[in-house]
Structure 1
Amino acid sequence: MSGSDTKPGFLISLVSGGCAGMSVDLALFPLDTVKTRLQSTDGFLRSGGFRGIYSGLLPVLLGSAPTAGVFFCAYELSKELGAGYISNSYMPFVHMGAASVGETAACLVRNPVEVIKQRAQTSRHRSSIAILGSTIRTEGFRGLYRGYLSLLLREIPFSFIQFPIWEFFKRIWCDRQGCAVSAWQSAMCGATAGGISAAITTPLDVAKTRIMLAKQGSKTAGGNIIYVIGDIWQTNGIKGLFAGVVPRVMWITFGGAIFFGAYEKVKIILISTKGRNL
């Protein structure tokens, strides 16, 4: 039995998830910047175009590992608990529930990172440290959690779709070859699942970006995602709701391959190392 079939413990999930999150954010940060600028109300060119493509990298570096680590700890624990009460035919619902629990926990870490990162990506002259200080001075610590609900409403449906598809593709591949999937096979499953999920949830991502970038006190900054989606629809139509869909799908497809591949690879290494030390 390979490491992919073995239930990881808390520490293994934390380290594996942290490595996966850091790997994907470092590799694909420029695509995320392009996507954010395309979704900004100021438009791509006025938000910076291709200049300063790594603006906002610092908060991502500080937050990516703990965010992904927290997610996978909550996901694996919830999946293990659910599997003890649910038959195999209903496992997709367990994966959906586990992904939702994981995202709720991870967004507590991710939201402040997203706020500072996206403001840095659309600001030509301010550093991430300056933006952090300005946000706390003008909005308090609550400002770091602006858009938390919209972030949850984007991430939970995304993971609700992505993780059952990822687990399903892995199970099919495993059944056909008669053994557990390897890290690269898990990466391919993750890339496909990520691309599908990214395309479907792009309107939620656009709304989240608009809320986080909106001027304090504006109706958009209030965080009513239904209002924001409706406003985008009235102003820009379907094109506005799917602004940045190409870089988002590219980013998450490539990111899914790196994220799930790195997670499985590190998990397998850690489990095998732990086994040799027993």
Structure 2
Amino acid sequence: MSELLLGGIAASLACFFTNPLEVVKTRVQLQGELKARGAYYVHYRNVFHAFYAMAKHESLLSLQKGLVPAIYYQFVMNGFRLGFYQCLDNYGFTRNEKNEVVFVKSVAAGAFSGVAGAYAASPLYMIKTQLQAKSCIGNPVGYQHSHNSMTEAFRSVYQSYGIKGLWRGVTSSIARVSVGSAIQLTTFSKLKDILHDKKIIAADSSLNTLCAATIGGTVVTACMTPFDVVATRLYNQPVDPKTGKGLIYSGITDCITKIIRTESFLGLYKGWSAVLFRLGPHTVLSLFFWREIRKIYFDLKVPSTIPIKASGTEFSKVVNN
């Protein structure tokens, strides 16, 4: 239980600093939805222009839209994800008798942990996405939901569609997080071990964390962005007021098919630069907070508690959203 709590707190602290990139990513992914290139007005030309445009037309505070559900989402999702992965690692499930990360076992542990976290936090991700997409400018990107706060959004969805409505789109979140989690947790852990074993950078060095996060982040971005775009579209789409079903996409396959048909294959990679720029800082900040919090926590525990390993490899668990 303590591992879930510590992982969630660390990710939540990091979220405050990286949420603006998440807002920008959401806006770019919804821009030109199901429209061919050149057939829509481009509000955001790239990540940097999106920051400028939002600050100019909506105020600087708009860059922190959806912050409250985003923080709760990070706490719940990564509490489950990092907590389960750390517990499996503590009991040796992801390693061999030489204490080396086993690729297949690490992938399985990462995917399992990701699925658990994604399912538990799905309602928060949906509300976060809808609040981040909401804009006060004319001709905004994506469908505009009426709620203005997390509490109002939960109340509205629950009153209209019940508990089931809060978990609408959960399959897309599971696909997104399980793919990203399995790849990220595995590549990061493996890269940290390689850099340490080859005597390039010590495992407990901040530079080791930064290098592993940067290299691994590129791989994760390439694999996860399509699922990230699909999740954003499914969560933000309008729904039938009677049935609660999506009016644009019926599911993951339908969403991917329609995007490729109208926006080309590159439509699945909208917002990829924001995903990449966010992964590095979010990873480093999350791991920094997590390491420091765990040090404090275990220093306060009695000697019988499982100790922090000297190699620092227990910190090689990465956070993505």
TM-score, normalised via structure 1 length:
0.84
What does residue range 92-103 of structure 1 map to in structure 2 within 5 Å? Answer: 92-103=103-114
Residue type at the aligned position of 2:208: Q
**Is 2:225–2:269's contact at 8 Å kept on the other side of the alignment?**
yes
Map of 2:102 onto structure 1: 91
**Is 1:71–1:103's contact at 8 Å kept on the other side of the alignment?**
yes
- Return 5+ residue gaps in structure 2 as ranges: 34-41, 45-49, 136-145, 240-244, 306-321
Identify the match of residue 68 of structure 2 among 58, 62, 65.
58
Residue type at the aligned position of 1:169: L
Partner of 2:93, secondary structure, is helix
Superposition deviation, residue 19 in structure 1: 2.6
Partner of 1:17, secondary structure, is helix
Superposition deviation, residue 85 in structure 1: 7.2
The verdict on how the C-alpha distance between 1:135 and 1:185 changes in structure 2, with shifts beyond 3 A counting, is: same
Identify the match of residue 228 of structure 2 among 205, 210, 230.
205
Map of 1:36 onto structure 2: 26
Residue type at the aligned position of 2:168: R
Number of aligned residue pairs: give it: 267
For the residues of structure 2 that align with 1:114 and 1:225, how far apart are their CA atoms?
16
For the residues of structure 1 that align with 2:196 and 2:293, how far apart are their CA atoms?
19
For the residues of structure 1 that align with 2:223 and 2:203, how far apart are their CA atoms?
29
Superposition deviation, residue 145 in structure 1: 1.0
Partner of 1:53, secondary structure, is helix
Residue type at the aligned position of 1:58: V
The verdict on how the C-alpha distance between 1:60 and 1:83 changes in structure 2, with shifts beyond 3 A counting, is: closer
For the residues of structure 1 that align with 2:97 and 2:175, how far apart are their CA atoms?
26
Superposition deviation, residue 41 in structure 1: 5.4
Superposition deviation, residue 267 in structure 1: 2.5
Q: Does 1:195 align with 2:205?
A: no
The Cα offsets for residues 28-61 of structure 1, whole Å up to 9 and x where unpaired, read as 1011001101111566749996132222111123
The verdict on how the C-alpha distance between 1:195 and 1:254 changes in structure 2, with shifts beyond 3 A counting, is: farther
Identify the match of residue 152 of structure 2 among 111, 122, 130.
130
Partner of 1:127, secondary structure, is coil
Partner of 1:201, secondary structure, is helix
Superposition deviation, residue 253 in structure 1: 2.0
Partner of 2:256, secondary structure, is helix
Comparing 47-56 and 134-143, the one that deviates more? 47-56
For the residues of structure 1 that align with 2:104 and 2:257, how far apart are their CA atoms?
30
**Is 1:111–1:151's contact at 8 Å kept on the other side of the alignment?**
yes
Residue type at the aligned position of 1:98: A
Map of 2:260 onto structure 1: 233
Partner of 2:134, secondary structure, is coil
**Is 1:212–1:221's contact at 8 Å kept on the other side of the alignment?**
no
Residue type at the aligned position of 2:26: T
For the residues of structure 1 that align with 2:175 and 2:63, how far apart are their CA atoms?
27
**Is 2:12–2:72's contact at 8 Å kept on the other side of the alignment?**
no
Comparing 226-235 and 51-60, the one that deviates more? 51-60
- Return 5+ residue gaps in structure 1 as ranges: 1-9
Partner of 1:14, secondary structure, is helix
Q: Once superposed, what is the RMSD of the aligned Cα atoms?
A: 2.9
TM-score, normalised via structure 2 length:
0.73
Residue type at the aligned position of 1:39: Q
Map of 1:3 onto structure 2: none
Q: Does 1:27 align with 2:12?
A: no
Identify the match of residue 196 of structure 2 among 160, 165, 174.
174
Comparing 230-239 and 179-188, the one that deviates more? 179-188
Identify the match of residue 118 of structure 1 among 107, 129, 132.
129
- Identical pairs, percent: 21
**Is 1:232–1:241's contact at 8 Å kept on the other side of the alignment?**
yes
The structure with the largest helix share of the pair is 1
Q: Does 1:160 align with 2:182?
A: yes
Superposition deviation, residue 86 in structure 1: 7.5
Map of 1:4 onto structure 2: none
Map of 1:6 onto structure 2: none
Map of 2:86 onto structure 1: 76
For the residues of structure 1 that align with 2:122 and 2:231, how far apart are their CA atoms?
11
Superposition deviation, residue 244 in structure 1: 0.6
Q: Does 1:263 align with 2:290?
A: yes
